Every structure is written in C-alpha cells, then in structure tokens.
C-alpha cells in the first residue's frame, strides 16, 4: 500500500517513540498501520471491543454510520433491495460485479442443483431433541457438512472454494427448513428444481405431503428482500469470527459454523428474536400504555433491560435496512390483510417515543435491521425461534465472500491478538498441606 501521511507516537516519559504510515481507503476513515508497533516500542495497542481497529482490508461492503449508508460492492442497499434478487446479490458479493443474464442463469442453476443435502444428514437431525433451539441444530448441521463433503476442503484450491460456496449457499435453506420441520414433527420437504431460491425455501418450510403448496409471490419477494438486507455487513462480530477461524486454515464449513454460533447472541443476530419477545411482553403488559414504564426501565442502568432492535456499533443514524424492513412490513401486512397488526403498531409507537427521547437521541440510538424484521417474519409464518436461522441463511454469502477475500490475500496470517496481563506474576506451588 502506498502512503505519504505518517503518524508519530511519542511517550511523555521520553521513551523512544515511533512513526507509522497512514493509509487511505477509496472511501471511509484512514488507518494507521501499527503492525510494527510492538517491534519498535515493546508496547501493544489496547482495543478489546475493536472500537477503533480495522482488522483487515476489504472491498466487499462499506458502511457510513453517520450517513446511514450501506453499499455492497459500491451498490446502495436501497437499489439492490428493489432492483435485484438475493442470488444476484450473492453473485455480486462473491464476484464483485452484478451478473449478466447469462452469468446469472448459470449461477442460479449451480445453486439450484446443490440444494439437496446428503440423505444421511437426515439421520443427524434425529440426534437432537424436538425442542432444541433451531440455531443449536444449525450450528451442528453446518459444522457436520465438513463430514460429508470431503471433495471440497482444500482451501487453497479455487475450485474447492467455489464449490463449497455454492454448496453452503444452496444447502442453508434446506437445513433451516429441516430444522423447522423436525421441531414440529412434520416430514422433511425436499427442494424443487423448478422453484426460485426463496420460493423453494418457503415451500420446504410450509408444504406438507397432504396438499399442494401454493407459492405467494408477494411473500416470496418479501422474504427475498429480507435475505438481501441481511447478506453482508462489513466486519461485524460473526464475520470477524469467520475470518479468524479461516485464518487458521480451518475448512469452510467449520468456519461458517463458527459464524452461525457467533450470530446467535442477542447483541448480534439474536436481536430479532429478542425484539419480538420484547414486543410480545410489552403487548401482554398493556401495549402502548406501558411504553413509558418500559422506556424508564431501559434508561435505568441497573435494570439490565435494553431496547432490542435499537442501537448499533457503526450506525449513528438510521440503519438503512431498518427503513427498508419497515416498508416490507407494510407490504406483507397489507397483502395478508393484517394492516392493523397490533405488534407492528406497537413497534412504530415505540420507535416514535424512543426517537423523541433524549436518552436515545444523545446516544444516537436508532432502529437497526432487527427492529422490524421479527414482525415481518412472524407475518410470513416464520416462528420466532427461527428468525436468527433466517439471518444466518442470508449472511452465509457475506461470510463466504469475506472468507474468500481473506484466503486470497497473499499477506494473510493467522489472527493471534495479544493481551494486557493483569494476573499473578510467577509464584511457587506449595504442598497441599501448606495452602
């Protein structure tokens, strides 16, 4: 990387400082290259939550948190959500360009013909309790894919990486639908090659052997848009996990399983499930009349209560995905004749109250992608505990694109952070009688 600007570090006790190159991206904050800091000063930086740390160089997704802007390979999410479908977006994230009609057709065919899972995986599901959380099942089944697909585990083989990407994108909907069917005691529904990606998923979720399943194009389009909105998001916690796992040379299925596990947390991808549970609880306690008491609890640090679906490490303005998700809510609820859905009305009232409250305004806390996604997924018939699985399904392409970018980097090294040690210095083991 070329650079002219330098950052100079000095110490108030006069100990030797150092100078570091500063690099600029195409857009976004500059970075100070501190890779030689420890060698030159014997000191580490300290940034536990990565509040000010760029962990990699990437060309995939850009977020401007102040403007509330999200670009996939330079294309605004608002345009992709309206003009493209999810598989086009997958192609874009993986290859860096939107596909031509012919490229799209070939990509869709590849994905379509990999949607089935190895038949023995169905037995894998039998090992879980029926009431297991679907994310526990997904963590297990995605990791287990490395036990079935031995022919694509050489991460330095471009062909292997590509077929693993196709298999993961293609099979995630099948695995999520299988987790759902298993939890309700219904038979697994096989994918169909004559259906599009999102229609295939809806059919695997909701069809049963007793009657024909009718695809609702409006609902399918809504789901497809939800997948686009969740496809990638720069170096979030789960993507950073996938990169770190991949940096050790672990196979792609193991890396994506690590991403699934990280996404599960309520501070991350688990927020959509937590947000809907929060709205249900508020509704049960009295709905809009109880918003004041609830907000007071959120503002009380000792309550441990957060307004789920609000706040973001990067967005200090509206999450553009939240606005698009709210529009999708309207479309789906209107299509289903649920315009007066009480939870949607409660969410909009809660959003209005929070956005006018100084506690949220001063901390720049705005609705994020998870605030409305639970409401629209519930309207689509998706059970609450499956919301984060849908998020993982959508994010798989973002994880793979980042994993590929990292593996292809000639300077790539295993990620190995250091620490500020605050434990015991060297001491002697005493015989147990003297302890």
Q: Which residues, in sequence order, are CB contacts of 12 under 8 Å at separation 6+?
A: none
DSSP at 145: G
Please work out the total of residues on this chain that contact ligand SDX, with binding judged by CB under 6 A: 21
Q: Are 277 and 388 in contact (CB under 8 A)?
A: no
SS3 7: strand
Contacting residue, 85, 273, 351, 370, with ligand SDX by CB under 6 A: 370
Distances (CA, A) of 305 to 264, 278, 310: 19, 10, 12
Q: Which of residues 214-233 bind ligand SDX (CB under 6 A)?
A: 233
Closest-approach residue to ligand SDX (CB)? 311
Contacting residue, 363, 408, 409, 417, with ligand SDX by CB under 6 A: 363
In angstroms, the CA 43 to CA 37 distance is: 7
Q: Are 221 and 380 in contact (CB under 8 A)?
A: no
Work out how close the CB of 61 gets to ligand SDX at its nearest, in angstroms, rounded to a whole number. 9
Work out how close the CB of 49 gets to ligand SDX at its nearest, in angstroms, rounded to a whole number. 6
Q: Are 291 and 278 in contact (CB under 8 A)?
A: no
Work out how close the CB of 326 gets to ligand SDX at its nearest, in angstroms, rounded to a whole number. 15
Contacting residue, 115, 164, 183, 368, with ligand SDX by CB under 6 A: 368
Contacting residue, 282, 291, 347, 369, with ligand SDX by CB under 6 A: 369
Q: Is 370 a catalytic residue?
A: yes
E strand or H helix that includes residue 23 = strand 18-23
Distances (CA, A) of 419 to 47, 83, 328, 424: 10, 46, 44, 14
In angstroms, the CA 55 to CA 40 distance is: 20
User: Which is nearer to ligand SDX, 20 or 385 (by Cβ)?
Assistant: 385
Work out how close the CB of 435 gets to ligand SDX at its nearest, in angstroms, rounded to a whole number. 40
In angstroms, the CA 150 to CA 253 distance is: 11
User: Which is nearer to ligand SDX, 206 or 310 (by Cβ)?
Assistant: 310
- Cα 46 to its chain centre, rounded Å, is 26
User: Which is nearer to ligand SDX, 199 or 256 (by Cβ)?
Assistant: 256
Work out how close the CB of 86 gets to ligand SDX at its nearest, in angstroms, rounded to a whole number. 15
Binding of ligand SDX by 177 (CB under 6 A):
no
Q: Are 421 and 262 in contact (CB under 8 A)?
A: no
User: Which is nearer to ligand SDX, 108 or 142 (by Cβ)?
Assistant: 142
In angstroms, the CA 316 to CA 58 distance is: 22
Work out how close the CB of 254 gets to ligand SDX at its nearest, in angstroms, rounded to a whole number. 20
Contacting residue, 308, 324, 389, 401, with ligand SDX by CB under 6 A: 308
Q: Could you tell me which stretch among 36-44, 106-114, 169-177, 305-313 binds ligand SDX (CB under 6 A)?
A: 305-313
User: Which is nearer to ligand SDX, 183 or 224 (by Cβ)?
Assistant: 224
Binding of ligand SDX by 196 (CB under 6 A):
no
Contacting residue, 92, 219, 307, 343, with ligand SDX by CB under 6 A: 307
Binding of ligand SDX by 160 (CB under 6 A):
no
Work out how close the CB of 267 gets to ligand SDX at its nearest, in angstroms, rounded to a whole number. 4
Q: Could you tell me which stretch among 13-21, 119-127, 301-309, 381-389 binds ligand SDX (CB under 6 A)?
A: 301-309
User: Which is nearer to ligand SDX, 118 or 306 (by Cβ)?
Assistant: 306
Q: Which of residues 236-295 bind ligand SDX (CB under 6 A)?
A: 236, 267-269, 271
Output Rg (C-alpha) for the chain, integer angstroms: 24
In angstroms, the CA 414 to CA 118 distance is: 32
Nearest to 177 by CA among 216, 215, 122: 122
Question: Mind giving me the DSSP string for 235-277?
Answer: S-HHHHHHHHHHHTT--HHHHHHHHHHHHTSTTTTTHHHHHHH
Q: Could you tell me which stretch among 204-212, 289-297, 306-314, 345-353 binds ligand SDX (CB under 6 A)?
A: 306-314
What would the two tokens of residue 247 be?
Answer: 């940096």
What would the two tokens of residue 344 be?
Answer: 């949607």
In the numeric block, the tokens 């984060």 are attached to 388
Catalytically annotated residue among 133, 224, 312, 385:
312
Work out how close the CB of 154 gets to ligand SDX at its nearest, in angstroms, rounded to a whole number. 29
Site residues, ligand SDX (CB under 6 A): 233, 236, 267-269, 271, 298, 306-314, 363, 365, 368-370
Looking at the annotation, which residues are catalytic?
312, 370
């Amino acid at each position: 990387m070329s650079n002219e600007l330098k950052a100079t570090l000095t110490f108030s006790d006069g100990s030797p400082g150092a100078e570091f190159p500063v690099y600029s991206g195409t857009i976004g904050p500059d970075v100070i290259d501190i890779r030689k800091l420890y060698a030159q000063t014997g000191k580490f930086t300290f940034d536990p939550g990565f509040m000010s740390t760029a962990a990699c160089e990437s060309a995939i997704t850009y977020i401007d948190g102040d403007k509330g802007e999200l670009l996939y390979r330079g294309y605004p999410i608002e345009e992709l959500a309206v003009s493209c479908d999810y598989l086009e977006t997958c192609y874009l994230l993986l290859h860096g360009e939107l596909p031509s009609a012919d490229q799209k057709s070939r990509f869709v065919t590849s994905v379509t013909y990999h949607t089935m899972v190895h038949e023995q995986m169905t037995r894998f599901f039998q090992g879980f309790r029926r009431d297991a959380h679907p994310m526990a099942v997904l963590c297990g089944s995605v990791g287990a894919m490395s036990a079935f697909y031995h022919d694509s585990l050489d991460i330095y083989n471009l062909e292997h990486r590509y077929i693993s990407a196709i298999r993961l994108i293609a099979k995630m909907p099948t695995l999520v639908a299988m987790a759902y069917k298993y939890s309700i005691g219904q038979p697994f529904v096989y994918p169909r090659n004559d259906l599009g990606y999102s229609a295939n998923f809806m059919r695997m979720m909701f069809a049963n052997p007793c009657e024909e399943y009718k695809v609702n194009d409006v609902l399918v389009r809504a789901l497809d848009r939800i997948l686009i909105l969740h496809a990638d998001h720069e170096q979030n916690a789960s993507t950073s996990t996938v990169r770190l796992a991949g940096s050790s040379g672990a196979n792609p299925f193991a890396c994506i399983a690590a991403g699934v596990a990280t996404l599960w947390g309520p501070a991350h991808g688990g927020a959509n499930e937590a947000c809907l549970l929060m709205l249900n609880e508020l509704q049960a306690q009295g709905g809009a009349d109880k918003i004041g008491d609830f907000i007071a609890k959120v503002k009380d640090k000792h309550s441990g209560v957060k307004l789920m679906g609000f706040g973001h490490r990067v967005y200090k303005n509206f999450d553009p995905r939240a606005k698009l998700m709210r529009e999708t809510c309207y479309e789906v609820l209107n299509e289903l004749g649920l315009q007066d859905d009480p939870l949607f009305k409660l969410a909009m009232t809660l959003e209005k109250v929070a956005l006018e409250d100084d506690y949220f305004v001063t901390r720049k806390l705005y609705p994020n992608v998870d605030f409305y996604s639970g409401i629209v997924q519930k309207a689509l018939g998706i059970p609450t505990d499956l919301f984060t699985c849908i998020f993982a399904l959508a994010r798989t392409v973002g994880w793979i694109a980042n994993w590929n970018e990292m593996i292809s980097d000639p300077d790539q090294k295993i990620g190995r952070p250091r620490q500020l040690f605050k434990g015991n210095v060297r001491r002697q083991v005493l015989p147990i009688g003297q302890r």
